[in-house]
Amino acid sequence: MSESLFGMPPANVDADIAEGRVALTVDTSLHSLDAIYAAAYAFIGRCYVLLERPAPERVRVVLAPKPSGADGDALRALIGEFANELLSATWRREITRSNRALIEAVTMQAFAGALGSPSLDDLEAFQFGDEPFEDPLGIAQSWEEKYRKKPRTPEEPTE
């Protein structure tokens, strides 16, 4: 049975206290799927987390605490914490995008400082036969490889 929780807008938050679950319906024009995934993932240690698509531009996040028996107050605290984490994830994503160059520069310097140069042992352990790294932009390809005219495959339609 769907119930509202004190202080939570019923249009966004609904709970089934008897079943021990609570849900938040998220507007995806406010929060990206990446932010929803990030916030939801932070709760998988404590809850079973289910994502649903009840309507276009809406994602419904259902949290069911793993130890059953959560009462209304516990469900309210849980969904409130999720809402805060979601806002934090959304804003962090924006900040990280804005400050990406600075964050990358500091992180790279920190790791360059801590890792140092590879030793001969490290190089010896390197698996040169490993699969090549992912290169979706073709940065590691030569100009000829990247831009040469590709032969048409027989099933390709012609105009």
Partner 1 sequence: MKLPVSDSRSYAAFFRFRELGEHVVVTSLEGEWVVLRRDEFSAFANGKVEPGSDLDVRLQARNLVREHFDVRRAAETMARRRRFVHGGPNLHLVVVTLRCNETCVYCHASRADLDAVHTDMTPEIADATVDMILRTTSPHVTIEFQGGEPLVAFPIVERIVERAVEKNRSAGKQLEFTMVSNLALMDEDKLRWLLGHRVQICTSIDGAKSLHDKQRVLPMASSWDTATKWIARINAAYAEAGLDPTLYHVEALLTTTRETLSRWREVVDTYVELGCRALFLRPVDPFGFAEKTRRVVEYPRAEYLAFYRHALDYIIEKNRAGVEILERYAAIFLTKILTGDDPNFLDIRSPGGAGIGQLAYNFDGKVFSSDEGRMLAAAGDPTFLLGDVRSSSYREIVGHPTIRAMAIASNLDGQPDCIDCTYVPYCGTQPEHNHKTLGTMMGRMRESSMCAVHKGIQDILFEKLATADNETLEILRRWTTIRPREHFLQP
Residues of this chain that interact with partner 1 (CB under 8 A) are: 42-43, 45-46, 81, 84-85, 88, 91-92, 95-96, 99, 102-103, 106-107, 109-116, 118-119, 121-122, 125
Q: Which is nearer to partner 1, 102 or 139 (CB)?
A: 102
Q: Which is nearer to partner 1, 53 or 100 (CB)?
A: 100
To partner 1, the closest distance from the beta carbon of 156 in angstroms equals 41
Q: Which is nearer to partner 1, 1 or 125 (CB)?
A: 125
Convert 3-53 into a string of H (helix), E (strand) and C (coil). Answer: ECCCCCCCCCEEEECCCCEEEEEEECCCCCHHHHHHHHHCCCCCEEEEEEE
CB 91 within 8 A of CB 101: no
Give the long-range contacts of residues 30-37, CB within 8 A, separation 24 or more.
Answer: 30/90, 31/86, 31/89, 31/90, 32/90, 32/93, 33/59, 34/89, 34/93, 35/86, 35/89, 35/90, 35/93, 36/61, 36/86, 36/89
To partner 1, the closest distance from the beta carbon of 32 in angstroms equals 15
Query: How is residue 14 written in tokens?
Result: 């609904």
To partner 1, the closest distance from the beta carbon of 95 in angstroms equals 6
To partner 1, the closest distance from the beta carbon of 43 in angstroms equals 7
Q: Which is nearer to partner 1, 55 or 101 (CB)?
A: 101
To partner 1, the closest distance from the beta carbon of 150 in angstroms equals 36
Q: Which is nearer to partner 1, 12 or 42 (CB)?
A: 42
